[in-house]
Amino acid sequence: MSMFIGEALAGKGNEIAHIDLMIGSKTGPVGAAFASALATQTAGHSNLLAVLEPNLLVKPATVTITKVTIKGAKQATQMFGPAQAAVAKAVADSVEAGIIPKDQCEDLVIVCGVFIHWDAADDKKIFDYNYEATKQSIANAMGAKPTVDEVLAGKEKAAHPFRGF
């Protein structure tokens, strides 16, 4: 398969994390999306590579993209700080755990959509929730979760927290 797709929500309050991600080959559609995300920066949507620390890029190379328009230095710092650090750590831990095969790390890339609420205040919660959501998203993507049968079995009782009714 050339593209694996994962999603997860973790936490609560304004620090809630919602991750959408794609994992795939550098030579496939995810590779094209990865390159486009890095090459296409717009006001309020600064995409950045996930790093464990400066000069220590995570593998597979991962670009974090904003799912909302970043409005102000506080929100930008949260994206560039605890959110991207959480994504990087979750990717590295997923490789270490064998969820992402180590021997494929140079061939794969990840595009990871990150949500930072404009009223988020607690950087530790931002890190913790984004780590949890990213780790779960990766496991879901690599494990083809949910299955079609799980979706069909759960569709009638599903209760999305932001549905509004």
Structure tokens given for 73:
């230095």
Whole-Å CA distances, 29 to 19, 25, 41, 69: 19, 8, 19, 24
Asked whether the predicted pLDDT for residue 164 surpasses 90, the reply is: no
Over residues 18-47, the pLDDT tens digits come to: 999 999 999 999 999 999 999 998 988 989
Q: Taking all residues of the chain, what is their mean pLDDT, rounded to a whole number?
A: 95
144: which residues sit within 8 A by CB, 6+ positions away? 4
pLDDT of residue 2: 83
pLDDT tens for 67-116 read: 999 999 999 999 999 999 999 999 999 999 999 999 999 999 999 999 99
CATH homologous superfamily of 3-154 equals Formaldehyde-activating enzyme (3.30.230.60)
Secondary structure in 3-state letters for 26-46: CCCHHHHHHHHHHHCCECCEC
Q: What is the pLDDT of residue 159?
A: 84
Give the pLDDT confidence of 105-152 residue by residue, as tens digits: 999 999 999 999 999 999 999 999 999 999 999 999 999 999 999 999
Tell me whether residue 164 is exposed, middle or buried, using C-beta atoms within 10 angstroms of its C-beta: 0 to 12, 13 to 18, 19 or more. exposed
- Active site residue ranges: 18
pTM: 0.94
Distances (CA, A) of 8 to 5, 134, 139, 146, 162: 11, 7, 10, 11, 14
Rounded to an integer, what distance in angstroms lies between the CA atom of residue 29 and that of residue 41? 19
What is the rounded distance in angstroms from the CA atom of residue 164 to the CA atom of residue 151?
21
